[in-house]
Amino acid sequence: MPADNVIVGLDVGTTKVCAVIGEFDNDGKLAITGVGTSPSFGLRRGVVINIESTLKSVSAAVEAAELMSGREVSSVITGIVGSHIEGINSRGVVAVTGKGREITQSDMDRVIEAAKAVVIPMDREILHVIPQEYIVDDQGGIRNPLDMIGVRLEAEVHIITGSVTSAQNLVKCVNRAGFKVEAIVLESLAAAEAVLSREEKDLGSLLIDLGGGTTDILVHIEGAPYYTNVIPLGGAQVTGDISIMLKTPVETAERLKRESGCCHFSLVEPGEETIIPGLGGRPPLALARRDLCAIIQPRIAEIFSIVRDRIEKKGFAGRLNGGVVLTGGGAQLPGSVELAQEVFGTAARVGLPTRLGGLVEEYRRPEIASAVGLVMYGARFADPQAREGAAKDGPRSGIFTSMRQWFRNFFE
């Protein structure tokens, strides 16, 4: 039976599709009751290129999650990624119209609308509009201006846009697998919801989601997103490098990476060895873990350096006092934290979704973070109590509403 108190996050990734079922208990607490994953074959760098194959992975992942939770899924909140995603900062200004110049919800809605009035190419649409700060007359840094008195209301916002066709293809897969898409959320925003603390967002942090096909980054400054970017490199490139350098099939390279891989020399003792299985009558070979590390480390360092260059170019490098947080499957590589600390010159940690109850063992993994985040994202807007601290994202005028609006315009 589909139940009202169930929220489902569906992360359609390049290497795996992951469905996570969250349920509110009688006390209104959210717990994860189902996690299902299935290998994904129909995507390239985060974007659907084969509908049939993707819908099969979606069905399999949801089915597995349904089995675990005993719930039937009818609708999902889907994540979106890909190089087509772009983030820009914008600003809107309106006059406060209400009685006594008291700022109302309608003023806040209007100022967001004004900030949205930027020229966006025909093939792209707005995915999220997230308020960063409000300015009432000349007083800046206001998170929630409701009921304040002023003449002029300004909003600074981060606008995330995406390709209409990429989103439509994603929705088509999910619909054809038999599920309604409740909303589309940028994966990195979802991951941030699951793994970043309020302090990290306030102090300034860099979230890096090391996926299979893409590396997604999201910079928070003073509590709000300021920079979004997608780098078309990920764990698949690391596996590809290993496969080429060691002349082994991709499957073997993937296994070697997961079982013996490392991306920081300091963590591997000189004598440590692993085995490359024999192929076609060839005998198995011993491989020094340091040699494997010598293949992996440069690629991850390259990805981190690209991220660092982009952050520096945008002027955010010196503003990351909350440090770097790594999620996605790639964050599980031993040494990822050490390497990030070196490249970014700041504290780093692996981000696991830890704030919910339920099937802790199943979901406290960095590659499940986005899917858990999608559930948390949905919950924040479904349950008024869970909205605490959400004022900055503006539950009424903010992300979800605009997302729904966008969604209505294009898919219904």
Ligand X SMILES: Nc1ncnc2c1ncn2[C@@H]1O[C@H](COP(=O)(O)OP(=O)(O)OP(=O)(O)O)[C@@H](O)[C@H]1O
Q: Which of 7, 10, 13, 22 binds Mg ion (CB under 5 A)?
A: 13
Judged by beta carbon distances under 5 to 8 A according to partner kind, the member of Mg ion, ligand X, none in contact with residue 154 is none
Whether 390 and 379 have beta carbons less than 8 Å apart is answered as no
**Cβ within 8 Å of residue 408, ≥6 positions away:** none
**Dihedral (Cα; 130, 131, 132, 134), 10-degree rounding:** 180
- Selected from 21, 96, 115, 236, the binder of ligand X by CB under 6 A is 236
Which among 98, 274, 126, 127 is positioned nearest to 186, based on CA atoms? 127
330 lines the binding site for Mg ion (CB under 5 A):
no
Question: What separation in angstroms does the CA of 155 have from each of 67, 79, 87?
Answer: 45, 26, 16
Q: How far apart are CA 332 and CA 261, in angstroms?
A: 10
Going edge to edge, which strands form the sheet with 86-95? 86-95, 152-163, 124-136, 139-142
Q: Which is nearer to ligand X, 213 or 398 (CB)?
A: 213
Q: Which does 87 bind (CB under 5 to 8 A by kind): ligand X, Mg ion, none?
A: none
Considering only 34, 131, 234, 378, the residue that binds ligand X (CB under 6 A) is: 234
Closest approach of ligand X to the CB of residue 108, in Å: 33
122/195 Cα distance (integer angstroms)? 34
- The least distance separating ligand X from the CB of residue 345, rounded to whole angstroms, comes to 24
Radius of gyration of the chain (CA): 22
- 235 binds Mg ion per the rule CB under 5 A: no
Position 335 contacts ligand X (CB under 6 A): no
Q: Output the residue with the shortest Cβ distance to ligand X.
A: 235
Of 59-88, binders to ligand X (CB under 6 A) are: 81
89 CB neighbour count, 10 Å cutoff: 15
Stretch that binds ligand X, among 28-36, 87-95, 210-218, 310-318 (CB under 6 A): 210-218
Contact in structure between 10 and 206 (CB atoms under 8 Å): no
Q: Report the partner that residue 236 touches, choosing among ligand X, Mg ion, none (CB closer than 5 to 8 A by kind).
A: ligand X
Does residue number 82 form part of the binding site for Mg ion (CB under 5 A)?
no
Given 36, 150, 211, 373, the residue binding Mg ion (CB under 5 A): 211
Place of tokens 């008024």: 384
| Of 131-139, 168-176, 228-236, 244-252: span binding ligand X (CB under 6 A) | 228-236
- 14 sits near ligand X (criterion: CB under 6 A): yes
196 in helix, strand or coil? coil
Tell me the closest approach of the beta carbon of residue 13 to Mg ion, in angstroms: 4
Give the residues lining the site for Mg ion (CB under 5 A).
13, 211
Give the residues lining the site for ligand X (CB under 6 A).
13-16, 46, 81, 211-214, 234-236, 239, 254, 257-258, 261, 328-330, 332-333, 367
